[in-house]
Amino acid sequence: MQFRRSLRHRVGFSFALFGGLISLLLSAVLYLGTQDIERGLIAETLTAELDEYANRFQVDPHSPPPSSLAIRTFIDSSKVNDAPAPPQFAALKDGFHRVEFQGKSHFLVIARRGGDRFFLLYDEARAKEREHRYLLFLASGVVAMTLLSAALGGWLTGRVISPVVTLARRIGGLRAEDRLTPVAGDFTNDEVGELAAAFDKYLMRLHAFIERERYFTSDVSHELRTPLTVINGATEVLLASPGLEGAARERVGRIARAAREMSELTAALFTLAREERGPAGAATSCSVGNVLRDVIENHAYLLKDKPVEVDIEREGNLQLPVERAVLAIVVGNLIRNAFAYTERGRITARVTRHGIEVEDTGSGMSPQDLDRAFERFATGPHSGGSGIGLSLVKRICDRYGWEIAIESQPGTGTRTSLRLVTSGNAAHVNPVSVT
């Protein structure tokens, strides 16, 4: 199942991402800037404290140095030797330093006054604790800004795309048989209004096209049925005449078959041209086995003078609620292909409990031809047709929810499976003995 990507969610996510990135960047700049300012203030404060003590020391060497839980003072002087600086500090230059002392991070200020050298050591633990609290505050601000941006983006997007959603629902609810009603009048004169006006123009063109198609299919069906009925009646009279023999009877028989196939094709095309087909129960129940038998008889002339045996097997009396002409078109294309491309051997047509299988020992199809078998106007290297037979079969199968599959090997033969009973339709099977 494909996840539906809502435009509102995408825009809201974009707002959240943008707000989060901006707040994160701003927080990083603030953190680095604040850290630099804090170190500067600490350096200035410690330097001032050290200068003040150095001045007092010059007056009274025994004056107490700055000392607290965070501050310690060391002196390298010939005047007193109470708090000498650790050896690791003596090698450092005068100024502000960051050092590790007794396993902790400290700030160190070194200054020289006369022949004396002063060291003021400040424990960084409290400064780090303040930095951690400040960092937590900034992180909370980033999260809050991201959530606020997402909420604001979702609200703004809902307001902005609401007309688009309304238009999509209006257009999605339209059906071909509905009366054409313009939708642009319900929207303001902005981009959405322009889109609605464009839809109105398109719907008008589509409605006009559908009307022309309906009239055309109706007129064609009516105009073709009359002459075809006349031809069928005339051929029946001629074939019933005892004086018609030999080549003349064969020619009239071909005319009768062509007229009958034309009638079935016209009915099938008219069914496909309709926007919707009626419910399954509306069609007369049709025997799949009888249709297969009649189709084989009507196309038997294609096997004239060919050493080919045709077997018909029935595993059940499959009844299908579908127009007989439509099923005859599908089965006729499968049988006609098998008869036309089989020069010798055997053709087996089988009615199963789910559909029809046609297997032959003909020339077969290459993998390239097999991939293009259902494409319109696709023909093989030895084909004499126009390439619309299997394409029409596929359209009919898609229309009625049938499934068709072709297996073939060049020089070996072809096996076509037409599954007429699927989960999307219904049929009735009366079990019979295999004949």
Residue that is last in its domain, among 98, 127, 146: 146
**Domain match, 415 and 282 both:** yes
What CATH code is carried by the domain that includes residue 205? 1.10.287
Specify the CATH number for the domain of residue 318: 3.30.565.10
For residue 23, being part of any structural domain is answered with yes
Q: What is the pLDDT of residue 1?
A: 37
Residue 153 lies inside a defined structural domain of this protein: no
**pLDDT for the residue 371:** 83
Q: Are residues 104 and 185 in the same domain?
A: no
In a shared domain, residues 363 and 284: yes
**Per-residue pLDDT at 3:** 41
Q: Do 426 and 291 share a structural domain?
A: yes
Do 109 and 214 fall within a single domain?
no
pLDDT (tens digit per residue) in 269-301: 676 666 444 444 445 688 999 999 988 988 888
The reply to whether 286 and 228 lie within a common domain is no
Note down the domain range covering 246: 174-276
- pLDDT value for 329: 86
CATH number at residue 68: 3.30.450
In a domain, 162, yes or no: no
What is the pLDDT at residue 425?
58
Based on the domain organization, do 206 and 305 belong to the same domain?
no
Let me know whether 32 and 120 are in one domain.
yes
Query: Residue 284 has what pLDDT?
Result: 67
What 3 state SS string does the chain have? CCCCCCHHHHHHHHHHHHHHHHHHHHHHHHHHHHHHHHHHHHHHHHHHHHHHHHHHHHHCCCCCCCCCCCEEEEEECCCCCCCCCCHHHHCCCCEEEEEEECCEEEEEEEEEECCEEEEEEEECHHHHHHHHHHHHHHHHHHHHHHHHHHHHHHHHHHHHHHHHHHHHHHHHCCCCCCCCCCCHHHCCCCHHHHHHHHHHHHHHHHHHHHHHHHHHHHHHHHHHHHHHHHHHHHHHHHHHCCCCCHHHHHHHHHHHHHHHHHHHHHHHHHHHHCCCCCCHHHCCEEEHHHHHHHHHHHCHHHHCCCCEEEEEEECEEEEEECCHHHHHHHHHHHHHHHHHCCCCEEEEEEECCCEEEEEECCCCCCHHHHHCCCCCCCCCCCCCCCCCHHHHHHHHHHHHCCEEEEEEECCCEEEEEEECCCCCCCCEEEECCCC
Say how many domains are in the chain.
3
Among 256, 276, 296, the domain boundary falls at: 276
Answer whether residue 41 is part of any domain: yes
Residues in the chain: 435
Low pLDDT (below 70) residues in the chain: 1-8, 81-82, 173-180, 185-186, 221-222, 268-269, 271-284, 377-388, 423-435
Looking at the fold, whether 207 and 319 belong to one and the same domain comes out as no
Instruction: Confirm whether 84 is domain-assigned.
Output: yes
Domain boundary among the residues 276, 301, 331 is at 276
Is the residue at 155 inside a domain? Answer: no
Whether 20 and 93 share a structural domain: yes
Closest CA to 320 of 356, 350, 294: 356
Residue 422 within any structural domain of the chain:
yes
Asked, for residue 366, whether it belongs to a domain, the answer is yes
Residues 116 and 14 grouped into a single domain:
yes
Tell me: do 340 and 252 sit in the same domain: no
